[in-house]
Amino acid sequence: MTDLRDSFFSSAPTLKARAPGRIEFIGNHTDYNGGEVLGAAIDRYVTAELALREDQRIRLMSSLSERVVDLSMDAVEPQSGEDSWANYPLGVFTVLRNSGIEFERGFEIYFDSDLPLGAGLSSSAAIELATLEALCAQAGVELERSQRVLLAQKAENDFVGVPCGMLDQAVSCFGNPDQLVHIDCAQVRFASVPMPSGYHFWIFNSQEKHSLVDSLYAERNRECKAALAALQGEYPQWKQLVDASPEVIETLLADQPALRRRAQHVVNEHRRVQECLKALAAGDMDRVGELLYASHDSSRDLFENSTPALDGLVDSLRGQPGVCGARLTGGGFGGAAMALTTAAFKNDHAQAIVDQYRNNRPAAPEPAVIHVQTGEGSGVLLR
Ligand code: ADP
Ligand code: MG
C-alpha cells in the first residue's frame, strides 16, 4: 500500500476489480473491418479499488501520477493534458450512465498497474474494463461479457475518441488462463481456443512510439473504409472489407496503390487467422509460427504500420532456437513485438536478441523485455 493511495481515499475502499492487458496473437487491424482475431489475456493487470462517497463527486487517481482528478458526477467533461488518462474511466462512467445504470452517490477509484502503457498491450482497454467491473459491481448490475466489451469499446470510441475495434476490450474481458480468445467481429461472437501447453510469450517493447500514432491509426481506419466503398461500387454485396476477394482488390484498386495494399493486408490477415485456428487445432506449431511471421511481413509491406524498431526485433527473433514465430502486436506504429516460444527460450536468449538489436540500432532505446503467460479475464476480486 502506497502513501499516495492511502491519503487518496476518504474512506476505506469497498471493492477491487481488475482487468488484464492483452496480446494480439494474430489478426492485425481486422477487428474494425469485420474480420476475425485471436488474442490472449496476459498476466499483467490494471486494478481499480473503489470507495463510495457521501456526495456527488468523482475522484480518480492512478499510481502513475500524483494528481487527483476531481469533478462533479453531473458535469463530466473530457479532461486534457496531464489528466487526459482519466478519460478512459470517465468514458466508462458516462457510457454506463447513458445505458441506464443509475449511480446515486459519487465514488473514488484508485488505479494501479503492472502493464506498460502505450506498448501495444492495451493498457487502455484494461483500465476501461477494470473501471467497468468496479462500477457495475458497485451498482449491483451484472452485464453479459459481450455487453461489457461493447460498452468499454464505446467509451474508447465516443469519449476518448479512438476509433478502435473490439479486439482489446474483448480479449481483456473474455481471457482465460491457457486459452486464446477468438473473436468474430462481424457476428460479435467470442470463443475460447486452447493454447497448446508448453508455449510462452515474450514481449519486446521497442520503447518507441510514433508521435502521430493516434492519427495514423485513424488514417488506416479511414483508408480501409475508402477501400471498401470503392469495391462496393461494383460489389455492393460486400458488407465488410474482409468479404472482398483478393483478385478483385488487385484489379479494382489498381489505380489506388495505398488502398490496394491496405485491403490486401486486411483480407489476407483475416484468412491467416482462420488458418491459424486450424493449425492450432492440429497442433501444427510450425505452421502457426509461419503465419505469425507472414502477418508481420504484411504489416511491414502492405499495411505499413510497422517501424524499423519492430522489424529489427522480429528479424533478430526469426529462426532463433526456441522461437516459433514473432510479429508486431497491436496497432503498430511503435510499441511491442511478441514472440511465441517453447520453454527452451530463456532470459539469456531474450538478452541475446536485445544485444543483437542494439548492435544494429545503437542509437535506439533499449527494448524492455517481459515474459508473460496467459492471464485471467476482467472481474471483481474483492467486495
Ligand atoms: P495501450 O492501450 O496500447 O497501452 P493506448 O495509447 O491505447 O496504449 O492507451 C494508453 C493510455 O491509457 C495511457 O496513456 C493512459 O492515458 C491510459 N492508462 C492505461 N493504464 C493506466 C493506468 N494504470 N493509469 C493511468 N492511465 C492509464
Ligand atoms: Mg489502447
Dump pLDDT digits (tens) for 370-380. Answer: 999 999 999 99
242 and 142 together in one domain: no
Question: What does pTM read for this prediction?
Answer: 0.94
Average of per-residue pLDDT across 149-162: 96
Q: How far apart are the CA of 140 and the centre of ligand 2, in A?
A: 28
pLDDT-derived band of residue 155, with 50, 70 and 90 as boundaries?
very high
| Structural domain contains residue 377 | no
Q: Are 339 and 357 a contacting pair, CB within 8 Å?
A: no
Please report where in the chains the cell 480501409 appears, as a residue.
224
Q: Give the pLDDT of residue 2.
A: 65
What is the domain range of residue 220?
Answer: 199-372
Average of per-residue pLDDT across 125-131: 98
Q: What is the pLDDT of residues 53-104, one digit of tens each?
A: 999 999 999 999 999 999 999 999 999 999 999 999 999 999 999 999 999 9
Q: What does the mean pLDDT of the chain come to?
A: 96
Q: What is the pLDDT of residues 18-32, one digit of tens each?
A: 999 999 999 999 999
148 and 24 together in one domain: yes
30 and 100 together in one domain: yes
SS3 content of the chain, % helix, strand, coil (to 5): 45, 25, 30
Helix (H) or strand (E) holding 23: strand 15-26
Pocket test for ligand 1, best of 24, 83, 90, 123 (most atoms within 8 A of CB): 123
Q: Is 168 noted as a catalytic residue in this protein?
A: yes
Q: Phi, psi (5° rounding) for residue 104?
A: -85, -35
- Using CA atoms, how far residue 380 sits from 49, 89, 142, 372, in Å, is 10, 16, 11, 22
**Grid cell in block for residue 257:** 496503390
Q: What is the pLDDT of residues 179-201, one digit of tens each?
A: 999 999 999 999 999 999 999 99
148 and 8 together in one domain: yes
| Structural domain contains residue 383 | no
Average of per-residue pLDDT across 160-166: 92
| Structural domain contains residue 289 | yes
Query: Domain end: 142, 173, 194, which one?
Result: 194
Please report where in the chains the cell 493449425 appears, as a residue.
279
Domain count, the chain: 2
Is the pLDDT at 211 greater than 90, yes or no? no
Q: What is the pLDDT of residues 358-368, one digit of tens each?
A: 999 999 999 99
d(CA 142, CA 105): 19
Q: Are 339 and 371 a contacting pair, CB within 8 Å?
A: no
164 and 277 together in one domain: no
First to last CA, the chain: 18
Around 286, how many Cα atoms within 13 Å sit in the side-chain half-sphere?
A: 0
Q: What is the pLDDT of residues 258-299, one digit of tens each?
A: 999 999 999 999 999 999 999 999 999 999 999 999 999 999
99 and 130 together in one domain: yes
State the closest ligand 1 atom to the C-alpha of 87, by its place in the atom list counted from 1.
16
pLDDT-derived band of residue 150, with 50, 70 and 90 as boundaries?
very high
Q: What is the pLDDT of residues 237-262, one digit of tens each?
A: 999 999 999 999 999 999 999 999 99
Pocket test for ligand 1, best of 127, 217, 333 (most atoms within 8 A of CB): 127
DSSP per-residue codes, 251-301 = HHTTT-HHHHHHHHHHHHHHHHHHHHHHHHHTT-HHHHHHHHHHHHHHIII
Residue nearest to atom 27 of ligand 1 (CA): 85
Query: Domain end: 171, 194, 217, which one?
Result: 194
> Residue 348, exposed/middle/buried by CB under 10 A (0-12, 13-18, 19+)?
exposed
State the closest ligand 1 atom to the C-alpha of 116, by its place in the atom list counted from 1.
4
Is the pLDDT at 1 greater than 70, yes or no? no
Query: Domain end: 194, 221, 245, which one?
Result: 194
Q: Give the pLDDT of residue 213.
A: 86
| CATH label of the domain that carries residue 274 | 3.30.70.890
User: What's 166's DSSP letter?
Assistant: S
Around 343, how many Cα atoms within 13 Å sit in the side-chain half-sphere?
A: 3
d(CA 115, CA 85): 14
| Structural domain contains residue 70 | yes
Q: How far apart are the CA of 29 and the centre of ligand 2, in A?
A: 13
| CATH label of the domain that carries residue 186 | 3.30.230.10
Average of per-residue pLDDT across 351-364: 95
d(CA 349, CA 328): 19
